[in-house]
Amino acid sequence: MSTIPVEKIRNDFPLLKNWIYLDNAATTQTPYQVIHAMHEYYTSYRANVHRGIYELEARASEAYNYAHALVARFIGADFYWIDEEKDFEFSELIFTSGATQSLNLVAESLSRGWLKKGDRVVVTAMEHHSNLVPWIRIAQEKGLELRYVEFDEEGELKLDQLESLVDDNTRVVSVTLVSNFLGTINPIEKIADIAHKKGALLVVDGAQGVPHMKVDVKRMDCDFLAFSAHKMLGPTGVGALFGKRELLEKMEPYEYGGDMISDVERYSASWNRLPWKFEAGTPKIAEGIGFGAAVEYLNKLGMEQVRAHDYELIRYALKRLEEVPRLKIFGPSKPEKRGGLVSFAFEDVEGVAKGPHAHDVADYLARRRICIRAGHHCTLVAHKTLGVSASARMSTYIYNTKSEIDAFVDSLIELEKKFRS
């Protein structure tokens, strides 16, 4: 049972006073604590990082570096304190612009010298476009074989099919931790075992998983993990990539410019130590600091409690959604196999062409100041697999309540009655 003091922490989120916000899988709200951390940077020590020796720069660098350490520790990645330099070494944790750039970084870097014609890349039919389109493009460019693992009627991956697809020619297995459409929590440790037995690398899209559950990259044994700050109370435009150190050291940079170099000659260049090798140019300093503040906020609540709160709300939502006529719910029927989201669509209605479209559902709820998502959620392959063009999606987080779920479901019941009449 969750012990999160929901009514108390709701005061930390300014927008919750006027809205029922159930679109957290798209982006979460930001607490005052994160806003203050970013504001303090802009008003008290605004300077670039890693480039100067004056006090403002030193403070900015220390705060930005410390944010890396906080995020690294949050997912169990290695980092080391270098006391004599008042610095940290977090060789396995790179700041990016978000999960999308993190996944593109991995795909592009691996395509440079690692992947060759005839190699196999295995993905799943439930992937977000960020973890699918880069592999499609590189497969076309390099002549790779791209294979799909399907999901069953419950929205769970067919692990026996995965095992048959991963062979000695497989170089990469790329899979989501939690589906942003089906809500499915995938068994990453089992998938890692299947991939590594054949010498393949495991890339994990953690955008919907890291914000909602305790993640330990060593226990998972993934080779790469991508996630975004804005889905876990942080600012937009910043995220992270975990990669095993021995892999990151061998990989080529994704971008080139300032701060990522060690030395430059007229006709050659060498790269900086990790993680700066992959962080070219002036970074998003305030956003990185805000990312660290978001992690501190979640740490105070405890990720086990975050997961317990999600579970309670989704279990309650699934039960209440049974009251809505002709509603099709996608993904696992058991709440313990789901993350904090439910996607759904109205089925055909007798005597009428079809039930309300997903966009009509979202619009109807929006008029009641209830925020959900509608569309294909950047998972066209999964939607086409199920034969649906669009779905509506509600998604919860730490500040949502059962009374908000009630308002959401009651509105759906009203809409369905109006549509039939």
CB neighbours of 291 closer than 8 A, spacing ≥ 6?
Answer: 67, 71, 95, 229, 234, 235, 238, 239, 240
- Is 222 marked active-site? no
CA pseudo-torsion sign 137, 138, 140, 146: negative
Question: Could you tell me the two tokens for 82?
Answer: 């270098």
For helices 402-420 and 358-366, the axis angle rounded to 10 degrees is 120
Q: Rounded to an integer, what is the distance from CA 123 to the centroid of its chain?
A: 17
Select from 66, 79, 80 the least CA-distant residue to 296: 66
Q: Pick the catalytic residue: 6, 378, 388, 390?
A: 378
Active site residues: 378
